[in-house]
Structure 1
Amino acid sequence: MTLKPQPQKPQPLVPWMGGKRRLAKHLIPMFPEHCCYVELFAGGAALFFLRPEKAKTEVLNDLNGGLINLYRIVQHHFDEFVRQFEWALTSREVFTRLQSTPPESMTDIQRAARFFYLQHTAFGGKVTDQHFGTSTTGRGFTAVDIADRLKAAQRRLNGVYIENEPWQRCFKRYDRPHTFFYADPPYWQTAGYDRAFDWSQYQQLAEVMATAQGKVMLSINDHSDIRGLFKDFRIQRLELAYSVGRDKTQKTSGELVICNW
């Protein structure tokens, strides 16, 4: 009797600064019942890819045009996207060349491949101020089995609405009693994100959470300003262990999970 290989589970397409892959096992069980699932700040969309069950309607929204283009290309032009990596190497020279190539001079498929390669070879999943990342304990960028590794993600994206608009507009568009919004905005007073996110936007998040028809879960760094602004909501703190660079000393950081139900 020959056992059939188990299909791979979908994984996030790219590493992402502030991604929630390591917190998924804590956050996903906290999701309420819903028919429509919306990520207002999708980024690497770790929770979307890792959640065990799909919602009837799903929406990924982000202002980063390169990221949204990647999702659309994997969703609709998978074979040609994979072909871009036929002879790809983990190379500082390739990284630098792609980094200096203006995206507007490329086709949408080439832009998606460029974005994907840079995210996978840049240090720390950063989107801005990227520099080539190296390791003495892991492999570099691997292209030989890329089609197999991404096929599950492509299937997962099937039928998903991909939006590229301000979070406020996306929220208004999909806010219904049966909608669950997951909001993972840039951390307060933390550098390295690709666009500014000022205090007024956190205030707007607090306002829409108080008046929303649907349910909203916000994950954000633990900061006294944030605790003060969202004091009227249910707040839970999660601990995340991490180490930085060559410093193997384990440290912890606090992640606040704020819910409006």
Structure 2
Amino acid sequence: MPRPKTYRLADGTAAPRPFLKWAGGKQALAAALQKRFPDRFDRYFEPFLGGGSVFFALASGNPVRAVLADENPWLIDTYRGVRSAWRRVAATLDTLPNTKADYYRLRAEDPAGLPLHARAARLIYLNKTCFRGLFRVNRAGRFNVPYGAYDRRLYDPNDLAATARVLRGVDLRCADFESVLDDVTPKDFVYLDPPYVKLGGHADFNRYTKGQFREPDHDRFAALCRDLDRAHVRWLVSQSDTPLVRKLFRGFRIQRIDARREINLDATRRNVGEVVVQNY
């Protein structure tokens, strides 16, 4: 398998690759999505940040004024922790043993009481050692993915350092997607990658927070996109190719693309149909 291309930042240093594996991650599609983005915009908004593949690809070119957000507070704290003290995050990761007993011991601890850098390290550790790199919480908001028994390194120091560099000056927010966009203007651009309308199997996964993203949330999301369109704000949406999605976004430009879902257990179902929807 060919090695991924190494991109360079404007200062000549290597651009970061996503350091977390996230359901619905767009690493394989990031370049194709970027080609559909407007040539010019003031700020880049991404209200469903997840693993950050699209932002990191975008940041491999010119510096980006960005507002990045997610409703998952542990995820946003992890980005903040890496940005402010990536070396401390790395040093903490070096102390965490990858054994089944230690995994379940560490998983059982409440990360909310940890310092920011340790909280970031704990999420990275669990993400790298849990089953298939899945992030899932129960109704109480507690991480509950079983141990994965993988022999892999927990981090790449170059990626953490590059991530810290590109996140300097970025506005990181923990909020619902609607409130994130309260201050968006027609000069800005919004990329939206919400939890997908269900396709079946592991593609149905939507418990990234203790709440779930259900059909009323998809209705609310589509209504917001129409409000943004009336306000002349440009946006692009990634979604599953389902009748509901096509109904919700009727009247906008909809294009089908092929995507690969690495978290799906059935390898024959990892290649699925997705759509990109845009209002420009």
Considering the TM-score relative to the shorter chain, is it more than 0.5? yes
Deviations 1:43-99 (A, max 9, x none): 111100122324542011001010000111111122222210234443222221111
Q: 1:254 to 1:179 in 2, by over 3 A?
A: same
The percentage of aligned residue pairs carrying the same residue is 29
Report the CA distance between 1:152 and its aligned residue: 1.0
Cα distance in 2 for partners of 1:157, 1:14 equals 15
Alpha-carbon contact 2:124-2:154 (below 8 Å) kept? no
Structure 1 unaligned regions, length at least 5? 1-5
Partner of 1:184: 193
Report the CA distance between 1:11 and its aligned residue: 0.9
1:10-21 matches, cutoff 5 A? 10-21=16-27
Cα distance in 2 for partners of 1:232, 1:112 equals 42
Cα distance in 2 for partners of 1:248, 1:61 equals 31
Partner of 2:148: 133
Partner of 2:215: 199
TM-score under structure 1 normalisation?
0.87
Alpha-carbon contact 1:126-1:193 (below 8 Å) kept? no
Report the CA distance between 1:27 and its aligned residue: 0.7
Give the RMSD, CA atoms, in angstroms: 2.1
Alpha-carbon contact 1:126-1:192 (below 8 Å) kept? no
Match status 1:115 vs 2:123: yes
Q: 1:214 to 1:258 in 2, by over 3 A?
A: same
Partner of 1:3: none
Partner of 2:4: none
Q: SS at the partner of 1:60? A: strand
Alpha-carbon contact 2:68-2:172 (below 8 Å) kept? yes
Of 254, 262, 276, 1:235 maps to: 254
Cα distance in 1 for partners of 2:120, 2:225 equals 34
Q: SS at the partner of 2:212? A: coil
Of 99, 114, 122, 2:107 maps to: 99
Structure 2 unaligned regions, length at least 5? 1-11, 137-143, 199-203
Q: 1:67 to 1:241 in 2, by over 3 A?
A: closer
Deviations 1:144-179 (A, max 9, x none): xx3233111111111100001111011122x20111
What one-letter code is carried by the residue in structure 1 that aligns with 2:166?
R
Of 77, 81, 89, 2:85 maps to: 77
Partner of 1:41: 48
Cα distance in 1 for partners of 2:13, 2:97 equals 27
Match status 1:24 vs 2:30: yes
Q: Report which of the two has the higher share of strand.
A: 1
Give the number of equivalent residue pairs: 249
Report the CA distance between 1:133 and its aligned residue: 1.9
Cα distance in 2 for partners of 1:23, 1:157 equals 21
Partner of 2:181: 171
Cα distance in 1 for partners of 2:254, 2:182 equals 24
Cα distance in 1 for partners of 2:36, 2:53 equals 15
Q: 1:251 to 1:39 in 2, by over 3 A?
A: closer
Q: 1:200 to 1:55 in 2, by over 3 A?
A: farther
Cα distance in 1 for partners of 2:44, 2:64 equals 8
Report the CA distance between 1:241 and its aligned residue: 4.4
Partner of 2:201: none
What one-letter code is carried by the residue in structure 2 that aligns with 1:37?
Y
Report the CA distance between 1:209 and its aligned residue: 2.1
Partner of 1:64: 72
Cα distance in 2 for partners of 1:23, 1:38 equals 18
Report the CA distance between 1:250 and its aligned residue: 6.9
